[in-house]
Amino acid sequence: MFELNGKVALVTGGRRGLGLAMAAGLARAGATVAVNGTAAESAELKKKMTAAGAPWAYFRADLADRDQRQGLVQRVVDRFGRLDILVNGAGIQYRQPAMEFDLGKWDLIISLMLTAVFELSQQAARVMEKQGGGKIVNIGSLSCFQGGWTVPAYTAAKHGVAGLTKALANEWAAKNIQVNAIAPGYFDTDMCAPIKADPVREPKIRDRIPAGRWGEPEDLVGPLLFLASDASNYVDGHILVVDGGWMVR
């Protein structure tokens, strides 16, 4: 039920961190994986994807740029013949008090983390409908539910992703396209490194997490395989929180 043999997946933001862990996890489950990132391939990417043992390829594109994200799904289909799974994982972070928040950064974050999610979902759904179905998994955040601090654009984008997930699920469930989201909590990644290194904030965060630790990228693989596989064929519009219990504290 959780095997992905014969499936083709596209993971955006898959060059490192959570995205790379998810891409490698999909490959270990048998999927052929198209990995998208902005920068050139990294040694870590090549090592982990090769070790996963399934066919894969890297598709470089800056998804904040509409010209570069247009046709990305078709590039994957041209290479591998189909697309069964889309993981919208690309994201960035920028912190600044709301009164001074840079509007250029606002436009960049919304373009990458909300508009691109919609555009790629559109591209993928058109392919999936012809194939008889598929899976779209959006990567949200605790910021789908909370306001955060000095991250107004990130929070707005993630709230948007939560709403978009439900809207697309409503329209596409009857087409056998399941649209769901994962909302990670505090994970040990480069994006969270400044907070994890903060001697004041880090203990406060960890003390609130019932599991008593930050998440590791591999902690997302199981939830992703559930939402990307036949195990979730009757799950639509759900936001699966993976946070060690933060939200229930």
Q: Which residues are catalytic?
A: 154
Q: How far apart are CA 53 and CA 134, in angstroms?
A: 23
Q: How far apart are CA 60 and CA 12, in angstroms?
A: 10
How many helices (H) and strands (E) the chain has is answered by 10, 7
Q: How far apart are CA 107 and CA 123, in angstroms?
A: 22
Cα of first residue to Cα of last residue in the chain, in angstroms, is: 32
Say which residues have a Cβ less than 8 Å from residue 76's Cβ, sequence separation at least 6: 8, 10, 34, 59, 83
Q: How far apart are CA 226 and CA 71, in angstroms?
A: 28
| Positive/negative CA dihedral, 195, 200, 203, 205 | negative
Please tell me what DSSP assigns to residue 115.
Answer: I
| Positive/negative CA dihedral, 42, 44, 50, 56 | negative
Which of 58, 174, 206, 179 has its CA nearest to residue 120?
179
Q: How far apart are CA 3 and CA 181, in angstroms?
A: 20
